[in-house]
Structures are given as structure tokens and as C-alpha cells.
């Protein structure tokens, strides 16, 4: 069963987090295995499966990045080996990657701070560009172009996350 269907929600990149949590808690009570101890083994197995689905669906949909990945995978847009980041973005990241290499060999606080700031600025720029599309997303009328822009945003965001993870390795040198 698809996660959005399970919670009886429309497919959306932006969700009402409080409503999602309310649905999760309601399902948690509804499918709690302790309430089915006197049922048949088959019914107990079914409830355990529904309880697990409830937890997995909530874990996925309550996290923006996981939700985005889930929707893109469901649409068949994230395919191994076919997730290319636009070259222009990679060219923009060359300076940051070169500065990361410098930090590996010789930590420098001003370079560290500049790279961290550049990554945060790029993240904010990307979010500002995509937010109108995410906010206005309607499953039934979404165009392939919109979905492709969301996919590219997701890939760029993942790329920036890897840079941030690399930066965190330098934090202990401060």
C-alpha cells in the first residue's frame, strides 16, 4: 500500500505535519498489536504488518527529504545511474570543492567559514526557486517539467548535503 493512501492524504511535497502526526497516532492506536492478542494468527500477522506500515510511512512522510525521495521514486524519476546533476551546477560547485581539498591538506578557519556560508547560501537559493513549485504541486495536474525541476532540486540538495558532511569532518579542527 502506498504511504499517502495509507494515511488518506493527497500526494504532496508539503504536508500539514500536525495532521500527519494525528493520523499516525490514530493508526498507532487502531493497529496496536496488544489489542489483537486474542485474534487468530492470521489477524495478528495482518495487524503487525499494518503497524509496521504505519511506522514506516510516518517515518518517510514526516521527513521532507525522505518524502521527496519517496514521491520521486514512486513516479519512477529516481533511477539508479540516470540521476544526473546539471553540469552548470557542478561547475558552480568547483570552487567549493577546491576549497574543500585545501581544507583537507591545510585547515584554514576563514576558508572553512566561507565554504560553509557559500553552501548555506546556495541551499537557500535553491529552496527559494523550488518552493513555489512545491507549494503549488497538485498531483493530477503536475507537468513532467515540474517533476523534473523537483528531481533536479532533490539531486542538488543531496550534493550539498555531502559537502556539508565533508565540512563537518573539519569542524573538530577548529
- pLDDT tens by residue, 54-113: 999 999 999 999 999 999 999 999 988 777 899 999 999 999 999 998 888 888 889 899
Specify whether 27 is located in the same domain as 96.
no
Specify whether 92 is located in the same domain as 156.
yes
Specify whether 92 is located in the same domain as 56.
no
Q: Give the pLDDT of residue 173.
A: 59
> Does any domain span residue 73?
no
Residue 153: other Cβ atoms inside 10 A: 19
- Domain span at 15: 3-62
Domain count, the chain: 2
What are the residue ranges of helices labelled H in 15-171? Answer: 17-30, 41-61, 64-74, 87-105, 109-135, 144-170
Model confidence at 172: pLDDT above 70: no
Model confidence at 53: pLDDT above 90: yes
Q: Give the pLDDT of residue 35.
A: 87
Amino acid at each position: 500500500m502506498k504511504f499517502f493512501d495509507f494515511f488518506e492524504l493527497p500526494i504532496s511535497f508539503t504536508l500539514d505535519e500536525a495532521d500527519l502526526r494525528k493520523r499516525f497516532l490514530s493508526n498507532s492506536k487502531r493497529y496496536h498489536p496488544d489489542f489483537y492478542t486474542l485474534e487468530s494468527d492470521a489477524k495478528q500477522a495482518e495487524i503487525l504488518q499494518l503497524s509496521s506500515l504505519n511506522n514506516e510511512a510516518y517515518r518517510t512522510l514526516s521527513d521532507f527529504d525522505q518524502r521527496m525521495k519517496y514521491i520521486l521514486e514512486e513516479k519512477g524519476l529516481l533511477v539508479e545511474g540516470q540521476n544526473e546533476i546539471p553540469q552548470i551546477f557542478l561547475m558552480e560547485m568547483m570552487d567549493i570543492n577546491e576549497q574543500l581539498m585545501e581544507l583537507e591538506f591545510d585547515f584554514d578557519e576563514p576558508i572553512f567559514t566561507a565554504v560553509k556560508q557559500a553552501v548555506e547560501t546556495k541551499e537557500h537559493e535553491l529552496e527559494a526557486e523550488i518552493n513555489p513549485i512545491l507549494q503549488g504541486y497538485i498531483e493530477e495536474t503536475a507537468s513532467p517539467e515540474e517533476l523534473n525541476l523537483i528531481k533536479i532540486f532533490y539531486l542538488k540538495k543531496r550534493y550539498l548535503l555531502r559537502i556539508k558532511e565533508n565540512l563537518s569532518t573539519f569542524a573538530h579542527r577548529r
